[in-house]
Chain A
């Protein structure tokens, strides 16, 4: 019974991470099956010894969940309607549940790596059974994607805050190279607690089936940084700038993984040099186009 539940969870898990983030800065949206969530709860009900998690969203009526798996249309964050048609606010969506599990799993990553074990440990802290890890792909991809997506959202909020301060006049507007440096440094610092296992994460993200999602997250992050840096280009510069910044970010990340200096000083110095290089190159390119007459803005 538990094995069948785990099997259906696994199939649903395989489908879910293939969902793409549609909007910028959005947490990647796994596809959902209500059945998987219901099966998870059934399994956890059987194996749970301790009382249910104090979160009120965990309240659950087994009789109501079972008859309705196929009829529920998927929608993000639904409140499931019970038999009497009343909306119950006690259910959380499967997506929310998965996010909670993955967030809880992050604290076990330094010990277990980006693996199903970490996810299982995380599920246990939430009072669910370790079989919850079966909801996810076995190589830990979703955990990494979830983490990256979380970091990107944090970065985005940070940049939004900074921008508000500048607009209110409480802070100076930074020059572009300084802004880029600070943004990339802030984003890379979020990885520091997991730096031991980060090479594993990067290699998993490079697996073919993960590349669309990870590329999506990377490009939206870079686009965010440029957007808040004030980039308003509407020509091919749009692509050039993002390509350059992506290069800077990736190389700095690689340097950081091998850096042993105190507080990663070498990394930030490397970053500073690369950003300065990029600025020099862009002004040199402008000079060349001016000289050769390729610049249409005469």
Chain B
């Protein structure tokens, strides 16, 4: 999984997070702190946008959205290869949770009038290739990819939470809650990946590399 390991730092910088989500009770049920439809009213966000550090929030939402989008594509790639195998349902479940996250960030993006990253078409292709490529090495490869990505993503989300805390915990409470929820989900995915023998795979890859040397 050297390829995934090498790509992970690049992903970490620009994809944002992958998140493991625990099983959703219902779309709105997972995000109880958002009033129903509150963020979906177009054009009436002028008042809501005053007083926040637009540059910081813009960047956070843009990167997280790109991350979720990339995560979606990674899981799509993994499903394309492993969809019919034993790991299929597990990956599908994680993918569904990523879709939920992407939906969430779409809403945030509209509410805060953030522009999406211009690299979206690139993440579209790169994510799919990463997911499919890692899955071609088998279930353990897919899980190792998940673990590598989730690890860097948790760091990334923690950094964002720290940034928002430094700015103003009260003003950004809602945003921070969403990011915290996502980070927790990511950590869950990370643990699921480890559970399914990703570590052993990495270890055995490493061993074989050393043996070759």
What residues of chain A have their CB less than 8 Å away from a CB belonging to chain B? 22-24, 160, 163, 167, 223, 227-228, 230, 232-236, 238-239
Quick one: given A160-B46, A228-B43, A230-B42, are A235 and B116 in contact (CB under 8 Å)? Answer: yes
Q: Smallest CB–CB gap between A17 and chain B, Å?
A: 21
Interface string of B35-46 (1 = CB under 8 A from A): 000000011101
**Chain B residues, CB < 8 A from A238:** 115-116
**Chain B residues, CB < 8 A from A234:** 65, 106, 109-110, 116
Q: Which residue of A lies closest to B102 (CB)?
A: A234
Q: Tell me whether B115 and A163 are in contact (CB under 8 A).
A: no
Bound-complex Cα distance A198 to B23 (A): 60
Let me know if B3 is at the binding interface, CB within 8 A. Answer: no
15 more contacts with CB within 8 A, not counting A236-B118, A236-B121, are A22-B54, A22-B55, A23-B54, A160-B43, A167-B44, A227-B42, A227-B43, A227-B113, A232-B42, A232-B110, A233-B116, A234-B65, A234-B106, A234-B110, A238-B115
Quick one: given A22-B54, A232-B110, are A239 and B118 in contact (CB under 8 Å)? Answer: yes
**Chain A residues, CB < 8 A from B115:** 223, 238
Q: Smallest CB–CB gap between B166 and chain A, Å?
A: 19
Let me know if B137 is at the binding interface, CB within 8 A. Answer: no
Q: Smallest CB–CB gap between A113 and chain B, Å?
A: 36
Q: How large is the interface on B (under 10, 10 to 19, 20 to 34, 35 or more residues)?
A: 10 to 19
Let me know if B120 is at the binding interface, CB within 8 A. Answer: yes
Q: Tell me whether A163 and B43 are in contact (CB under 8 A).
A: yes
**Chain A residues, CB < 8 A from B44:** 163, 167
Q: Tell me whether B54 and A230 are in contact (CB under 8 A).
A: no
Q: Which residue of A lies closest to B73 (CB)?
A: A296
**Chain A residues, CB < 8 A from B116:** 233-236, 238
Q: Sort A-B residue pairs by CB-CB distance and give the 8 closest, nearest first.
A: A234-B106, A232-B110, A234-B109, A163-B43, A230-B42, A234-B116, A238-B116, A236-B120
Q: Smallest CB–CB gap between B18 and chain A, Å?
A: 18
A and B contact pairs by CB, cutoff 8 A, 23 listed:
A22-B54, A22-B55, A23-B54, A24-B113, A160-B43, A160-B46, A163-B43, A163-B44, A223-B113, A223-B115, A227-B42, A227-B43, A228-B43, A230-B42, A232-B42, A232-B110, A233-B116, A234-B65, A234-B106, A234-B109, A234-B110, A238-B115, A238-B116
Q: Using a CB-CB cutoff of 8 Å, which residues 196-212 of chain B contact chain A?
A: none
Q: Smallest CB–CB gap between B66 and chain A, Å?
A: 11
**Chain B residues, CB < 8 A from A160:** 43, 46
**Chain B residues, CB < 8 A from A235:** 116, 120
Q: Which residue of A lies closest to B69 (CB)?
A: A235
Bound-complex Cα distance A223 to B120 (A): 19
Pick from A22, A227, A228, A232 the residue with the most CB of B within 10 Å: A232
Q: Using a CB-CB cutoff of 8 Å, which residues 102-153 of chain B contact chain A?
A: 106, 109-110, 113, 115-116, 118, 120-121
Q: Which residue of B lies closest to A164 (CB)?
A: B44
Bound-complex Cα distance A243 to B87 (A): 43
Q: Smallest CB–CB gap between B82 and chain A, Å?
A: 20
**Chain B residues, CB < 8 A from A232:** 42, 110
Q: Smallest CB–CB gap between A173 and chain B, Å?
A: 11
**Chain A residues, CB < 8 A from B54:** 22-23
Q: Using a CB-CB cutoff of 8 Å, which residues 51-106 of chain B contact chain A?
A: 54-55, 65, 106
Pick from A22, A160, A230, A238 the residue with the most CB of B within 10 Å: A238
Q: Smallest CB–CB gap between A287 and chain B, Å?
A: 20
Q: Which residue of B lies closest to A167 (CB)?
A: B44
Q: Which residue of B lies closest to A25 (CB)?
A: B46
Bound-complex Cα distance A250 to B181 (A): 44
**Chain B residues, CB < 8 A from A23:** 54
Bound-complex Cα distance A107 to B74 (A): 59
Q: Smallest CB–CB gap between B32 and chain A, Å?
A: 23
Bound-complex Cα distance A163 to B120 (A): 31
Bound-complex Cα distance A11 to B208 (A): 67
Q: Which residue of B lies closest to A163 (CB)?
A: B43
Q: Smallest CB–CB gap between B129 and chain A, Å?
A: 16
